[in-house]
A and B are shown apart, each in its own frame.
Chain A
Amino acid sequence: KAGVTQTPRYLIKTRGQQVTLSCSPISGHRSVSWYQQTPGQGLQFLFEYFSETQRNKGNFPGRFSGRQFSNSRSEMNVSTLELGDSALYLCASSSRPPSYEQYFGPGTRLTVT
């Protein structure tokens, strides 16, 4: 099976802009979670989608949003970018619950200047 893929892999944006990141889960996996990874804060949970529904959300401002499509692909959007949004954004997929194993994509490295 192909692994989790994310596009784009690298992105440079300017403060105030918005950005959309994409994640394609492992075939057959219906749950997609998003995490922000920074050197100072580690891996922080953003949100999780299952069957196009957001089931859980982390402590991030409303500028961070996401969605999931019927084919389980997911996107996350960050509006009004701030310098502090510079991070590696990782998505992870897992199969139908109660399987808890999450498999990560390579991430999108976002740099905000």
Chain B
Amino acid sequence: GENVEQHPSTLSVQEGDSAVIKCTYSDSASNYFPWYKQELGKRPQLIIDIRSNVGEKKDQRIAVTLNKTAKHFSLHITETQPEDSAVYFCAAHLPGFQKLVFGTGTRLLVSP
């Protein structure tokens, strides 16, 4: 069945450092990979996404890369700031289903 593994579960960095979160998916038919940021007590917010026909996408300080052959994708945050502290979830979408399979989340802590 479909499965998404996410690592690490927690990540602590100093302000200004880069942070990388990695996810691996099992179903090669997956064609859409969003990333969500969830601050404490708030709803998950879509921050960036990538489709299977693209290898990399950037939006200011965040970027996502996709390796279809290896079935993994990563979130890169550069020049981290304290307000980047949150739980980040990756997900994979199966074509034909309006269903996202989520990773287990990464708690990112950015220290000033």
A64 at the interface (CB under 8 A from B): no
Do A97 and B105 touch (CB < 8 A)?
no
> CA separation between A97 and B99, bound complex, in Å?
12
Question: Which size class do A's interface residues fall under?
Answer: 20 to 34
B61 at the interface (CB under 8 A from A): no
Do A102 and B46 touch (CB < 8 A)?
yes
Do B43 and A107 touch (CB < 8 A)?
yes
| Contacting residues, chain A, for B100 (C-beta < 8 A) | 33, 43, 45, 102
| Contacting residues, chain A, for B102 (C-beta < 8 A) | 35, 42-44
**Interface size, chain B (Cβ < 8 Å):** 21
| Contacting residues, chain A, for B49 (C-beta < 8 A) | 100-101
| Contacting residues, chain B, for A50 (C-beta < 8 A) | 98
Within 8 Å by CB of B45, from A43, A55, A94, A104, lies A104
Do A56 and B97 touch (CB < 8 A)?
yes
With A42-B102, A42-B105 known to touch, is A103 a contact of B46 (CB < 8 Å)? yes
CB distance from A90 to the nearest CB of B (A): 7
**A-B complex: 8 closest residue pairs judged by Cβ atoms:** A43-B102, A100-B32, A104-B43, A48-B98, A42-B104, A104-B44, A106-B43, A56-B97
